[in-house]
Amino acid sequence: MERIVKPYRVHGGARVPHRKNTAHAETRAMPAPARVLLPMQQHVGAPCEPLVKKGDRVLVGQKIAGSGAAVSAPIHASVSGTVAGVEKVLLPGGRVSDAVVIDSDGSMEPDPSLRPPKAETLEEFLAAVRESGLVGLGGAGFPAHVKLRVPAGKAVDTLILNGAECEPYITSDHREALEHPQDVVEGARLVQGMLGIPRVILAVEDNKPDAIAALRAAAGDAPGFAVLPLRSRYPQGAEKVLVKACTNRKIPLGKLPADAGCIVMNITSAGFLARYFRTGMPLVQRRITVDGSAIQNPANVLVPVGTRIRDVVAFLGGYRGEPRKLLMGGPMMGLALPDDGAPVLKQNNGILAFGGADAKLPEPSACIRCGRCVAGCPMNLEPLLLEQLAEQRDAAGLARSGVAACMECGTCAYRCPAHRPLMQAIRLGKNLVKQAGGKN
């Protein structure tokens, strides 16, 4: 196995509290809930259209929605039961999507037609990945078959498996590395072989020594493989930061990792691919971390996709107290939810519920020009300037100042001693540029 001594240094970031309360708790499997809601938009790109109607009986793994668009991913039944209909659901970030509603029969009967896919060529492999319904499981939701199709004229020499998991609380990828390290390596080798990539880097923050050891043992002397311990510093798992830390290459503005000779995959995505090519079962379940001060029994839970958050919390014993804030994802980049009726999505890696003081935002005060936001920005931006331009609704100024380069990691707001709402202002600024005809 190739040995890499240490990662390259990356500008900015922040030391955030880890709070990995569930890192050493084995994943618990949740039984079938009474009902699941499967939104047609669980990925970047075109939404799916339902392939079933009210009254139809469906089986686990059966394709129930799809799209002919190039950037999309099909959706499969996560429980067996009866289609109750199609209804509107509110997704994180305020989007509204159609959702196929399935009433479970409790049997979790799999579709008998499912078979391990055969992929002898790259095109067959990419077609199988698409049919699996896999999207980026680290949170972005980008269809995996699109990510793995290297654009013409691009040369990729490095596959990076992202196991950094730098957000506080979230430990779902940590558990994948501990519970299924062989699957992670098998999935990586599958991608490596199909795409002809010479080097594979399994990147894990150094606050997870057990995961690093498990992956090193699983990789053994696999050709071109290296496990790279990363500095434990947020946002180490962000794609642009990760590529820089692993290869010292920079992804150009508006470009993809392939433009820097890399493909980046979440380690759980790699583990899933290994299992899919063995069994033929598409993406119908998700390991999520459920934690926060309002959760009675924090845990990592394997749940059917589309399970309502309230049902997951009930499985874990309910709330410790009234939740004052619900987040889908981590506390740095997660999205706030209006209630716990929202369904778990494919790309969802965590649900956090906070009560009392943990949910209260501090009152912002005047900027003291300390420069911590600038020092912390991994993209070398000036967050205070972007905030001021957004308040002035200066779309041209925002574009000139590089607002499009912001990856919305929230480091600037976290490091600000005046508690300025920098991230909210920058998101507003990006929307202003988009409305003015610029690029977001």
Percent of the chain with pLDDT over 70: 98
The pLDDT confidence band at residue 1, using thresholds 50, 70 and 90, is very low
Q: Tokens 């379940």 map to which residue?
A: 285
- Mark whether 136 and 250 lie in a shared domain: yes
Q: What's the mean pLDDT when you consider all of the chain? A: 95
- Mark whether 266 and 143 lie in a shared domain: yes
- Averaged over 363-368, what is the pLDDT? 95
Decide if 169 is inside a domain: yes
The pLDDT confidence band at residue 4, using thresholds 50, 70 and 90, is low
Give the domain extent around 211. Answer: 122-279
- Give the residue among 137, 143, 239 at the shortest CA–CA distance from 184: 137
CA dihedral in degrees (45, 175, 330, 404; nearest 10)?
-40
Which pLDDT belongs to residue 93? 79
- Mark whether 388 and 246 lie in a shared domain: no
Decide if 129 is inside a domain: yes
More confident residue, 93 or 66: 66
DSSP-derived letter for residue 88 is E
Which pLDDT belongs to residue 361? 86
- Mark whether 130 and 270 lie in a shared domain: yes
Which pLDDT belongs to residue 158? 97
pTM here?
Answer: 0.94
Q: What are the φ and ψ backbone dihedral angles of 155, each rounded to 5 degrees? A: -115, 120
Contact 173, 163 (CB under 8 A): yes
| Biggest distance spanned by C-alpha atoms of the chain | 64
- 202 three-class SS: strand
Asked if residue 114 has pLDDT above 80, the reply is yes
Decide if 326 is inside a domain: no
- Mark whether 270 and 157 lie in a shared domain: yes
Amino acid identity of 296?
Q
CA dihedral in degrees (122, 62, 162, 195; nearest 10)?
0
Strands of the sheet with 81-90, listed across from one edge: 35-39, 96-104, 81-90, 57-58
Tell me the pLDDT tens digit for each residue of 209-239. Answer: 999 999 999 999 999 999 999 999 999 999 9
The pLDDT confidence band at residue 3, using thresholds 50, 70 and 90, is low
Rounded Cα distance between 78 and 86, Å, is 16
Decide if 27 is inside a domain: no
Last residue of a domain, one of 279, 312, 340: 279
The pLDDT confidence band at residue 246, using thresholds 50, 70 and 90, is very high
For residue 274, give the CATH number of its domain. Answer: 3.40.50.11540
Decide if 91 is inside a domain: no
Q: How many domains does the chain have?
A: 2
Contact 129, 43 (CB under 8 A): no
Asked if residue 274 has pLDDT above 90, the reply is yes
Decide if 377 is inside a domain: yes
Decide if 147 is inside a domain: yes
- Averaged over 17-40, what is the pLDDT? 97
- 76 three-class SS: strand
The token pair at 113 is 């037609």
Using alpha carbons, list the distances in angstroms from residue 3 to 148, 182, 227, 404: 25, 19, 8, 36
- Mark whether 250 and 389 lie in a shared domain: no
- Mark whether 252 and 380 lie in a shared domain: no
Asked if residue 366 has pLDDT above 70, the reply is yes
The token pair at 376 is 């912390």
The pLDDT confidence band at residue 5, using thresholds 50, 70 and 90, is low
Asked if residue 319 has pLDDT above 90, the reply is yes
Last residue of a domain, one of 228, 246, 279: 279
- 410 three-class SS: coil
CA dihedral in degrees (421, 424, 430, 431; nearest 10)?
-140
DSSP calls for 277-336: HHH---S-EEEEEEESTTBSS-EEEEEETTBBHHHHHHHTT-BSS--SEEEES-TTT-EE
- 77 three-class SS: coil
Decide if 149 is inside a domain: yes
- Mark whether 157 and 258 lie in a shared domain: yes
Q: Residue 413, exposed/middle/buried by CB under 10 A (0-12, 13-18, 19+)? A: buried
Q: Residue 114, exposed/middle/buried by CB under 10 A (0-12, 13-18, 19+)? A: middle
Which pLDDT belongs to residue 138? 80
Q: How many CB atoms sit inside 10 A of residue 216's CB? A: 18
- Give the residue among 292, 412, 311 at the shortest CA–CA distance from 353: 292
Last residue of a domain, one of 279, 312, 346: 279
DSSP-derived letter for residue 93 is G
